[in-house]
Amino acid sequence: RLVRFEQDADAVRARLESKDGVGTTHRADVMLAADGIHSAARRQLYPDEGVPRWSRLVLYRGVTRSAPFLSGRTMVQMGNRAQKFVCYPISRAAYDEGASLTNWIACVQAGEREALKPEDWNRRAEAEAFLPRYAGWRFPGLELADLVRGADDIFEFPMVDRDPLPRWTHGRVTLLGDAAHPMYPIGSNGATQAILDARVLADQLAGTDAAGAPDALLRYEADRLPKTAQIVLANRGHGPDYVMQVFEERAPDGFAHVHDVASQQELEDIAAGYKKIVGLDIETVNAKMRGV
């Protein structure tokens, strides 16, 4: 783990410490801090930032092998802003065998007195901690309780993010991924945006010598910081999941057909608006491909 870094005009020196407490120092032209939401580099750069911003929502995740539901390739999202359930198949091999390896996420509100726990992907939980809240939830072809109970392991973590930073790059040091822009896990953008960070960063550093590295980091930041800041803020509005809230508010007692509540054009506009923010609209993607 990173303990601390120091830099001068020519290089950066990172002090690392192993799990058994052995420290080493490494010298480099640049330091790319991709050390997650608990980033030590970010904490050194912004010591007064404090703890992550909690939505007071808690996520439970698991993976279950089961019989396929609906088409066998269907993604299900149900619920509203306060509570939802999302699941989708993640294995072509299981599909070819007539089964489904399904990733699922249950999102519930925390209790009024529940405190923020450390953001840890490896904290295990039990189904009964949240499954009773889904009593009475029905979806054709999907047995929610069976899906949850069929998981070998269930993991719990709070849904947190941080406010966008004014800058990531300080001399020969910059941030990327969750260290730079932790966001709510909506729209599959946590890993996606980190991958885009890496691509832009690699493009800017390619062919750059040590003297030009700080300027390359600034160009990377100029490209990626405003884009990811938009996504952080959009995800606070629940991104494309906002469509579920539309139906909750307009048809709380149910409906016969989706178009009785929202037109096809409105649904497409909601999806297109978010795609534009995250850079996945057709025009943006095509422009990127022309530049490859």
Backbone angles phi, psi at 132, to 5 degrees: -55, -25
Q: Please state the three-class secondary structure of 37-55 as a single string.
A: CCCHHHHHHCCCCCCCEEE
Task: Tell me the residue length of the chain.
Answer: 292
Check if 220 is active-site. Answer: no
Spatial contact of 271 and 240, defined as CB atoms under 8 Å apart: yes
Cα dihedral angle (21, 27, 33, 35), rounded to 10 degrees?
-20
Paired tokens of 262? 């929202």
Q: Work out the angle between the directed axes of helices 189-205 and 264-278 (0-180°, nearest 10).
A: 40
- How far is residue 123's CA from residue 19's CA, in Å, rounded to a whole number? 19
Please pick, among 88, 95, 134, 242, the residue that the annotation labels catalytic: 88
CA 172 → CA 25, 37, 213, distances in Å? 16, 21, 7
**Which sequence positions are flagged as catalytic?**
88
